[in-house]
Amino acid sequence: MSERPVRNGQASAGDLLELVRSGRATTRGALQQATGLSRATVGQRLDRLFRAGWLREGAGGPVDSPLGGRPSITLEFDDEHAVVLAADLDTRHARAALLTLTGEIVVERAGTLVVEDGPEAVLGELGRWFAELLEKAGQPAGSVCGIGLAVPGPVDRDTGRVVQPPIMPGWDGYDIRGRLGRAVAEHAGAAAGSVPVLVDNDANLMAFAEQRAAYPDTSAFVLVKVSTGIGAGVVMDGSVFRGTDGGAGDIGHIRVPEGAQALCRCGSYGCLAAVASGGAVARRLTAAGVPAESGSDVRELLSAGHPEAVALAREAGRLVGDVLATVVTLLNPGVLMIAGDLAGTPFLTGVRELLYQRALPRSTARLEVVTSRLGERAGLVGAGALVVEHLYAPDRVEERLRALGV
């Protein structure tokens, strides 16, 4: 969670909740000190949060005064008052989960879901998955406060629609929020279908989750997902950098000399994804007599130590590493994380070979090149966090409190 300054003497109930959630102020006295509000005003605003069920009292904290006295009662965000539904779509596979408001996965499921079948069918099936998860967790439809969805394409954040996605035919400009909301209402109940649906690019959400989980003090963080396609997520000062209309990080469509004759799924020749993605490696393996349809098939071959897959993954890593030398020089990240189907030792070795050879020494002197910590759940955790950060942002808190009449 990125810190935002609190306006001294003007802090809202939403500002107080953010201070508690972030751990920056967890007692009434600390809230007074952080905001400049009077004791009475802090009490009034906290009362609204208590009545909404979003705040609770915890155990007494240490006594700060040398004169002794009663311990201060700590304040805690009540993460049990609602749950979040989240899903992460890949080209041929999907994961869905029910999460707590602090990002813990309660129940989840995974299975085949082919994005080329189109949004109507795919989102309808996700609605059924979500209903099954609610039933399995013993949660009523009314406990859902929001739904998050990660997709393998660029997303316009304002509309939640994908914009010219190369590997999502039939999805361009489609009303994902509306369709998923209707599907959830149909299978799980109207209460679950009336909540906000938030959509973002999968690499963005993976980067958001991974940075928060393991590298919260890293001000510039880059995650590169290499699966059927290639995409990057960038987190700067705790916030996802999306660009003007959600297209930031689409490095799979940077032109590389090695791909001059390779036709990409976007319709152009020479894209990095056409020669170095999991899909590209799968095609080369198939041509060599080793059947593979997608990045997930390549991952299985790599896990088994298949020599041809290992060699091609390392070669793909070198191609990606060459492009990342420019990315690292431009953004100067503290952490570069490789994730996705190809994120193993052979690919990572190839990335490092070219990255350190081509990038300026100053750009890599303090750079950590690592692999995913959250693994296949990163997209789910990021989608859940997207919902929570949206719903409990200070301005949004004020709107929701007024809607609740508190």
pLDDT tens for 265-311 read 889 999 999 999 999 999 999 999 999 988 989 999 999 999 999 99
Model pLDDT, residue 313: 97
Model pLDDT, residue 65: 46
The type of residue at 105 is I
Give the DSSP H/E element, type plus range, for residue 201.
strand 197-201
**Banded pLDDT at 320 (limits 50, 70, 90):** very high
Mean predicted confidence (pLDDT) in 213-233: 96
Model pLDDT, residue 260: 82
Mean predicted confidence (pLDDT) in 152-169: 92
Model pLDDT, residue 246: 87
Mean predicted confidence (pLDDT) in 220-234: 96
Q: Which segments of 23-118 does DSSP mark as H helices, in order? A: 28-35, 39-52
**Banded pLDDT at 4 (limits 50, 70, 90):** low
pLDDT tens for 56-79 read 998 765 545 444 455 678 999 999
What tokens appear for 119 in the block?
Answer: 């949004």
Name the 3-class secondary structure at 224: strand
pLDDT tens for 357-399 read 999 999 999 999 999 999 999 999 999 999 999 999 999 999 9
CB atoms within 10 A of CB 241: 17
Q: What are the backbone dihedrals phi and psi of residue 177, each rounded to the nearest 5 degrees, phi first?
A: -60, -50
Q: What share of the chain is helix, strand, coil (3-state, %, to 5)?
A: 45, 20, 35
pLDDT tens for 334-349 read 999 999 999 999 999 9
Give which of 313, 374, 367 is closest to 345, Cα–Cα.
313
Q: Which segments of 149-218 does DSSP mark as H helices, in order? A: 176-188, 190-193, 202-214
Q: What string of DSSP letters covers 322-343?
A: HHHHHHHHHH--SEEEEESTT-
Q: Return mean pLDDT, the chain.
A: 93
In angstroms, the CA 180 to CA 193 distance is 8
Q: How far is CA 388 from CA 16, 57, 249, 316, 397, in A?
A: 16, 21, 23, 36, 11
Give which of 309, 207, 320, 345 is closest to 259, Cα–Cα.
320
